[in-house]
Amino acid sequence: GAGVSQSPRYKVAKRGQDVALRCDPISGHVSLFWYQQALGQGPEFLTYFQNEAQLDKSGLPSDRFFAERPEGSVSTLKIQRTQQEDSAVYLCASSPRQGPTGELFFGEGSRLTVL
Amino acid sequence: QQPVQSPQAVILREGEDAVINCSSSKALYSVHWYRQKHGEAPVFLMILLKGGEQKGHEKISASFNEKKQQSSLYLTASQLSYSGTYFCGTEESSNTGKLIFGQGTTLQVKP
């Protein structure tokens, strides 16, 4: 399929563990976004990449959260020393345009549960 | 900064109409609408740009009142497939990458 692929789909971590969530955007898409979606809530913006440049990381909740997109394609969201409040679905989206003004193509998300 | 959606939930019968509203306290550059079914990815429906340009879905329409920073999504002759949670997303400027979503409106269409 040519859609946005995220892995793992489900991750259970013990509090204090580090996790890494991967996003494979649609090939050629310039923009990549990470969102955090708590149960019953709307997606909350975390960070935005244009190619390999991280242009906005204002939504990252703490310095335990780190995202990268070193070659301008695949992106990884890393959470260090996970806490229970980190439990959520992490959505990745990509767009062929610069910025979000256009259709965002979302992946199905990675559901993180921190015990 | 998060836009406010109303109502929080709607239950309809097939063929009925619904309106979902989205309101922001900030001046907006664009409003986006997405639908998310349970356990699935959000899917793009519509974008409304400052100045009146619209791009989106054939059977769903929307309006954008720039002066009031409000948008409404109109679902006419609803189908079972319209069920899901609808999110509006707002963009304050064309220069940022930040699309801020509302808390969602859950729509259930019954036969």
pLDDT tens column, A101-114: 778 999 999 999 99
Supply the CATH number for residue A37's domain.
2.60.40.10
Q: Do B41 and A109 touch (CB under 8 A)?
A: yes
Confidence of residue B93 (pLDDT cuts 50, 70, 90): confident
φ and ψ of B82, to 5 deg? -75, -10
Q: Do A43 and B101 touch (CB under 8 A)?
A: yes
Which residue numbers of B have CB closer than 8 Å to A's CBs?
2, 29-30, 32, 34, 39-44, 47, 49, 87, 89, 91, 94-104
Q: Once rounded to an integer, what is the mean pLDDT over residues B6-16?
A: 96
pLDDT given at position B54: 64
Q: Once rounded to an integer, what is the mean pLDDT over residues A11-29?
A: 97
Q: Do B42 and A106 touch (CB under 8 A)?
A: yes
Whether A114 is covered by a domain: the verdict is no
Q: Which domain holds residue A99?
A: 5-108
Domains of chain B: 4-110 (2.60.40.10)
